[in-house]
Structure 1
Amino acid sequence: MQQLIERLYEDHKHLSRVINCLQKEMYGFSGGPDAPDMSVILDAMDYIRNYPDAFHHPLEDRIYAQMESRISDTELLQMLQRIELQHHQLHALSTRLQNDFHAIANDQAMPVERLLNDFQAYHELIAEHMKCENRYLIPAIEQYLQPEELEAIREELDARPDPMFGGQLLAQYEGLYKYLIESEQAA
């Protein structure tokens, strides 16, 4: 059980690191001294779309679905439903943001204000989302799931390592990972 909980917290920490990297690059769109590095931005968006949207959030949705019928605390149920809704909102926002960046990379006109607003909306929602999960979803796991359910989830986690922070770095994220480490060391 502890391994599952640690993994969810670690996913949030790693996602925060990638978001911080994006935020640094966004400064270039809002008048910062350095031009945004589109390869870093596109790799970061690819990571955000492929790992959390394809694995992390569906896993949390599955965990919530297993717990839902056992929860009698109305406030907790409302918060977990809110988290589930946020998964859909995050997917839509990250899709829009990724499309914005691809348009820029393909030399299409993109109003900078729209790009900055889309990023700000995503950044605020993902921060609130992770805060809610850390406060409500993750603690509820220990209370509402049985050991055999947790074991099945742990096995699924082991089968799907994080493609950038999971012990084996996928080649497509090498540049982003190097950028992230260098940025953190410089800070």
Structure 2
Amino acid sequence: MHAIEKQLYRDHYHLQRLLEHLDQEVRNYECGMASSVELPLILDTLDYIRFYPERWHHPMEDKIFDRIMAKHPPEAEFVNQVQLEHQQLAQLTRYMTQLFDAVANDCIVPVSELVRTTREFIQRQRSHIDRENELVYPLMEKYLTEADWEELEAEIAVEQDPLFDAPLKADYQNLFMRVVDGNSKGGAQAFQ
């Protein structure tokens, strides 16, 4: 498996861990425990999801998916659908950020809207990851050659994950510690 491919799978694993954290926070809202919700960590989670996937993960996937479609056109309709999901998820992430920014600025946002939107966000992210892992990523092994991977590396350099790769950015240190210490049974080793 090529290093880019490994990074894409690792990104999915990390995102799933963040979605678990977000799911726990929304359960606190549902249970009427809004005072125990860690709003700064929710905002950090959404910031990370907006920043890293949109800057490296999705552009790399899109280049890989374009290459797969060029080599094997019958996969084009399905792969195009997955690429469209990238745009839809980016829009939903922006909307989620606006909602939680409003809460952070003491604006009135109905809990029902926060919970509904967050549940939809988590479900759509998880479905997208599962679809890519199960149906699209295997096409990388099937159709891409070492020459393809070298060309892809030249087009987009592998970027360090600002949350899970060393050196850890101070911006996300609290989020990292919460996800690792608070929700992870595997500890820090699970992320490496």
Instruction: Give the residue type in structure 2 aligned to 1:8.
Output: L
Cα 1:72–1:80 shift into 2, 3 Å = same
Partner Cα separation in structure 1 for residue 115 and residue 61 of structure 2? 29
Counterparts of residues 89-168 of structure 1 (less than 5 Å):
89-154=88-153, 156-158=156-158, 160-168=159-167
Give how far 1:99 is off: 0.6
Q: Counterpart of 2:174?
A: 175
Give how far 1:78 is off: 2.5
Cα 1:100–1:47 shift into 2, 3 Å = same
Q: Is the 8 A contact 1:79 1:132 kept in 2?
A: no
Percentage identity across aligned positions?
Answer: 29
Q: Counterpart of 2:18?
A: 18
Size of the alignment, in residue pairs?
184
Greater mean deviation of Cα atoms: 170-179 or 54-63: 54-63
SS in structure 1 of the partner of residue 71 of structure 2: coil
Cα 1:186–1:60 shift into 2, 3 Å = closer
Q: Gapped runs of 5+ residues in structure 1?
A: none
Q: Is the 8 A contact 1:67 1:145 kept in 2?
A: yes
Q: Gapped runs of 5+ residues in structure 2?
A: 187-192
Q: Counterpart of 1:45?
A: 46
Q: Is the 8 A contact 2:2 2:149 kept in 1?
A: no
SS in structure 2 of the partner of residue 137 of structure 1: helix
Q: Is the 8 A contact 1:29 1:36 kept in 2?
A: yes
Q: Counterpart of 1:2?
A: 2
Instruction: Give the residue type in structure 1 aligned to 2:47.
Output: D
Q: Is the 8 A contact 2:23 2:119 kept in 1?
A: no
Q: Which aligned segments of 4 or more residues in structure 1 are displaced greater than 6 angstroms?
A: none
TM (norm. structure 2) is 0.88
Instruction: Give the residue type in structure 1 aligned to 2:67.
Output: Q
Instruction: Give the residue type in structure 1 aligned to 2:14.
Output: H
Give how far 1:32 is off: 4.8
SS in structure 1 of the partner of residue 29 of structure 2: coil
Give RMSD over aligned pairs. 1.8
Partner Cα separation in structure 2 for residue 32 and residue 146 of structure 1? 53
Q: Counterpart of 1:30?
A: 30
SS in structure 2 of the partner of residue 108 of structure 1: coil
Partner Cα separation in structure 1 for residue 119 and residue 54 of structure 2? 19
Partner Cα separation in structure 2 for residue 49 and residue 88 of structure 1? 11
Deviation digits for residues 36-85 of structure 1 (CA, Å, limit 9, x no counterpart)? 11111111111111011222111111111122122143xx3232111111
Cα 1:14–1:185 shift into 2, 3 Å = closer
